[in-house]
Amino acid sequence: MKLFEKTLESKSIFEGKVIHVMHDTVELENGEKAMREIVAHPGGVCVAALTEENELLFVRQFRYPYKEVTLELPAGKLEKGQNPLENGKRELLEETGAVGREYITLGKLYPSPGYCGEIIHLYFCKIDHFEKQHLDEDEFVSVERIPLDKAEEMVLNNEIPDSKTQVAILKTAAIVRKFNGK
């Protein structure tokens, strides 16, 4: 098996501020043709920021696609010309006012690989200090602190549906346990 699809044609369907939707014709490894609908996205970043009291910083915000308020770790889309870590530092400061130190990569996440090319870069850091929040004009969030153990429990009890937040919490908890020898 080659496990590869060759793009024969790519047609732009929609180009928005954040996403680009394409309709592609591909050739499968058996020579047959198939259609693929793709959402191109610049990618994102998510930061699990831990306080000295072993609490993670969260933001609550209204998420329009779901028509509900979600609890998430600080995150945002990648900006052109900046690397993911710099974006993560900027998002953490903008949304929570926190400045982190000792950043560790938690890897990357493909949130919906069947149709979307978004890659979310995950980071863990310890909070060094706080400054002023710098929310975007159209951004409204409330910041919360939740103990890491409680956040991990919330993930396991299906109280946090956001995938990037779930993965970052579980990886952070594993790292902290390993570092603390538990």
Catalytic annotation present for 55: no
The single-letter DSSP state of residue 152 is H
Q: Is 54 left (phi over 0), alpha (psi -120 to 50) or beta?
A: left
d(CA 180, CA 97): 27
Q: Is 172 strand, coil or helix?
A: helix
Q: What are phi and psi of 110, to 5 degrees?
A: -100, 100
Q: What are phi and psi of 28, to 5 degrees?
A: -80, 170
| Catalytic entry in 53, 131, 137, 153 | 137
d(CA 115, CA 120): 15
Nearest to 172 by CA among 82, 94, 73: 73
For 120, counting Cβ atoms within 10 Å of its Cβ (0-12 exposed, 13-18 middle, 19+ buried), the class is buried
Tally of CB atoms within 10 A around 151: 26
Active site residues: 137
